[in-house]
Amino acid sequence: MVWARFRQYLVLGYLYFMRSLKILAALAITALLLFGGAACGGDDKNADETEATGHEIVPDSQVTQGLAATQQLLADIESGRVADKTKALDAVEAGWASYEGTIKKNEVDLYLDFEDALAAFQKAVKGSNSAGTTTAKTKFATAAQSYLAKHP
């Protein structure tokens, strides 16, 4: 009787151990699948630059064109030549996003000036503050001139 009871505990302990082992193995495989691929990556330098700045790096010629287009759009919004200012502000943001990574990579301080100017411009437009739009547009133009002097 004692031997039978001992054997029963032994079998139950073995079954409990095996079930725990299966759970641990399943957890280990899941962790490997989830986190194992994180160390794998390509050797694409453009991807590294994009990840470093959070935005795509484009040629200086594209930045020059983008800055000119953004300044023109800011002037059009300020002067009232744009009927839908919300869509125009969205266009400014989309245009800026297409080349801001290069500016951020090359000139961090000027990048922050651009960001501040665009935020102030958007706030001034939404608040119908014409003096604010003029100031922000001028700040953007000044930052653009400084950037283009360093990166023609």
Flag whether the pTM goes above 0.75: no
Which letter, b or e, does each residue of 110-139 get, where b requires 16 or more Cβ atoms within 10 Å of its Cβ? bbebbbebbebbbebbeeeeeebbeebbeb
The pLDDT, as a whole number, for residue 21 is: 52
The pLDDT, as a whole number, for residue 55 is: 75
Cα–Cα distance between 22 and 14 in angstroms, integer?
12
The pLDDT, as a whole number, for residue 54 is: 65
Total residues belonging to the chain: 152
The pLDDT, as a whole number, for residue 74 is: 95
Tens-level pLDDT at each residue, the chain (152 residues): 666 666 666 666 665 666 665 665 566 666 556 666 555 554 444 444 444 446 789 998 999 999 999 999 999 999 999 889 999 999 999 999 999 999 999 999 999 999 999 999 999 999 999 999 999 999 999 999 999 999 88
Non-local CB neighbours of 74 within 8 Å, separated by 6+ positions = 92, 121, 133, 136, 137, 140
CB 114 within 8 A of CB 140: yes
